[in-house]
């Protein structure tokens, strides 16, 4: 899975054409963010989500799993493409494939949409909070539209660990309308392009 960080598009370009930073680079950056926190993990008694379990809502239900000791991921139980593996349309595994398309959304778009989803009280808990983030995992169709969306966040996030499933579903639907990618000729050969975008809480002010 490749990372599309819209903020990076303003900084990284080859002949004016934005390019995607690879997954390993993004993992290193995320690890650095987590290290900044001093590994201070609070109790999860008030969390609505538990790794290995499904949290049910009226509109949708989400399965939670632990990616690391500090990061949880949740996905809509209706999602069908739940691995990071990408395939060519002929069925061959697209090993280490790096999408070369361009995101048609900006970092500001992501932040604005996310902030509109939260209450003022919730925003006050995460504004400028170092080492915290929302990771948006995307599976897009052959036209570059977001087909499935999942989420990743710290397991001591003061807001997202307590966000109701129906509110995640609302965010998911809004993101599907926003997240569009202009696929390259090479990308079109892939059955389902996968990428993720990051909302860094330090950018929320």
Q: What is the pLDDT of residue 6?
A: 46
E strands, the chain, are: 2-3, 13-14, 17-18, 54-56, 61-66, 71-76, 102-103, 133-140, 146-154, 181-182, 193-200
Report the alpha-carbon distance of residue 140 to residue 48 in Å, rounded.
Answer: 28
| Residue 27 to residues 21, 23, 87, 166, Cα–Cα distance (Å) | 11, 6, 22, 29
Q: What is the pLDDT of residue 205?
A: 85
Q: What is the pLDDT of residue 18?
A: 35
Q: What is the pLDDT of residue 175?
A: 98
Q: What is the pLDDT of residue 46?
A: 85
Q: What is the pLDDT of residue 33?
A: 56
pTM of the model: 0.80
Q: What is the pLDDT of residue 15?
A: 23
Query: Other CB atoms closer than 10 Å to residue 145's CB: what's the count?
Result: 13
Q: What is the pLDDT of residue 3?
A: 63
Place of tokens 């969306």: 149
Q: What is the pLDDT of residue 10?
A: 38
- β-sheet bridge partners, residue 71: 154
Series of mean pLDDT values for 10-residue runs along the chain (205 residues): 51 34 55 51 71 98 97 98 95 94 95 97 96 97 96 98 98 98 96 95 94
Q: What is the pLDDT of residue 40?
A: 41
- What is the Cβ-side half-sphere exposure of residue 58, based on CA atoms within 13 angstroms? 3
């Amino acid at each position: 899975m490749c990372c599309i960080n819209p903020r990076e598009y303003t900084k990284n370009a080859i002949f004016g054409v934005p390019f995607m930073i690879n997954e390993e680079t993004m993992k290193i950056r995320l690890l650095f963010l987590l290290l900044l926190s001093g590994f201070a993990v609070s109790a999860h008694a008030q969390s609505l989500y538990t790794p290995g379990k499904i949290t049910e809502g009226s509109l949708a239900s989400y399965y939670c799993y632990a990616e690391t000791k500090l990061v949880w991921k949740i996905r809509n139980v209706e999602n069908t493409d739940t691995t990071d593996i990408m395939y060519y349309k002929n069925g061959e595994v697209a090993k280490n494939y790096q999408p070369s398309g361009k995101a048609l959304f900006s970092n500001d778009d992501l932040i604005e949409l996310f902030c509109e989803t939260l209450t003022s009280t919730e925003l006050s808990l995460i504004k400028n909070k170092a080492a915290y983030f929302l990771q948006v995992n995307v599976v897009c169709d052959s036209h570059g539209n977001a087909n499935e969306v999942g989420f990743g966040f710290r397991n001591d996030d003061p807001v997202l660990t307590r966000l109701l499933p129906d509110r995640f579903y609302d965010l998911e639907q809004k993101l599907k309308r926003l997240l569009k990618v202009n696929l390259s000729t090479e990308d079109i050969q892939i059955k389902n392009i996968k990428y993720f975008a990051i909302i860094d809480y330090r950018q929320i002010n």
